[in-house]
Amino acid sequence: MRYVFPAIVALVVASCSSTRKLERQPMIGGLTGQAYIEKIIELSPEWKSLNGKVALNLDLGGQKPMKVTATFRLKRGESIQLLVAPLLGIEVARLEISPDGLLVLDRMNKRYVQLSFDEVSRWAHTELNYTILQSLFLNEVFLPDRTRLTPEDADAFHVTLDGDDATLRVKAARTLSYLFRTSAAQGLLEESSIAVSGTPYVLNWKYSDFAELDNKLYPRQMKLDVGGVDKPVKLDMQFSRLSVNGEWESRTEVSSRYTRIGMEDIIKMLGKQ
């Protein structure tokens, strides 16, 4: 009994401690915080590809907004493409994001911009990579160093309940903070934010107008804005005619007849539209 009694006491204390810990977790949609995060991860689409049409409205701050309709293509782990072809289906411009970085083709003037993600991150005033951008387009939560999440990754997030919303925050983030605002009732991801600690720089990606797509709810409208910069950047994307698991060439070969230019030249060109 000299050994058994202390062991029983220790078990009771540990049990009470565990119970208090569970009681501190917020109940969201009838689930504990841990179970809710696992649910959010499980709701992420498993599509190999996604494509459709998208109407883009780009505002570079103080300049005339640019409106254009493009073909949207995403192939998981390979590329994200926006193809602009307004005249008789003839492509005039292309944006391609791949694990290597960003490629912008101006087919009318036979010129292109090619940037690594280090250069893209400096231009956007935050740290970006292909996995992050892919997750933003797929409307899924992410960890910056993981290509795909599983329910076991739930421990990497902290969840708080605020009215009808539940916000997930990446625990280990220091220089950058990652926040995901979800609707507590349905578990829909309504906003993803990346902020640079100690600065006003923030990238907000908002989702709305959810509709069923291949037995999942997917947003038909996305709004991107970059805050804390001299001229705030805003992009409104309206998606239509979406389908999943299509096939196409995921990488673009640049012709030797094209001239390489800088990102500043493209921004100047857009500002004149």
Residue-level pLDDT, tens digit, the chain, 273 residues: 343 333 333 333 333 433 333 334 455 667 888 899 999 999 899 899 999 999 999 987 767 788 999 999 999 999 999 999 887 788 999 999 999 999 999 999 999 999 988 887 777 666 778 999 999 999 999 998 888 999 999 999 999 988 889 999 999 877 889 999 999 888 999 999 999 888 888 999 999 999 999 999 999 999 999 888 777 789 999 999 999 989 999 999 999 999 999 877 766 655 554
**Per-position b or e across 37-61, b if 16+ CB within 10 A of its CB:** bbbbbebbbebebbbbebebebbbe
Enclosing H/E stretch for 170? strand 165-170
The one-letter code for the residue type at 272 is K
C-alpha 106/C-alpha 55 separation (Å) is: 19
pTM over 0.85: no
Maximum C-alpha span of the chain? 89
Q: Report angle CA 233, 250, 204 to the nearest 5 degrees.
A: 20
Residue 92, judged by CB atoms within 10 A of its CB (0-12, 13-18, 19+), counts as middle
Q: Which fold has domain 41-271?
A: outer membrane lipoprotein receptor (LolB), chain A (2.50.20)
Report whether 47 contacts 214 (CB < 8 A). yes
Phi, psi of 133 (to 5 degrees): -65, -40
Helices (H), ranges, the chain = 4-24, 33-42, 117-124, 130-138, 263-271
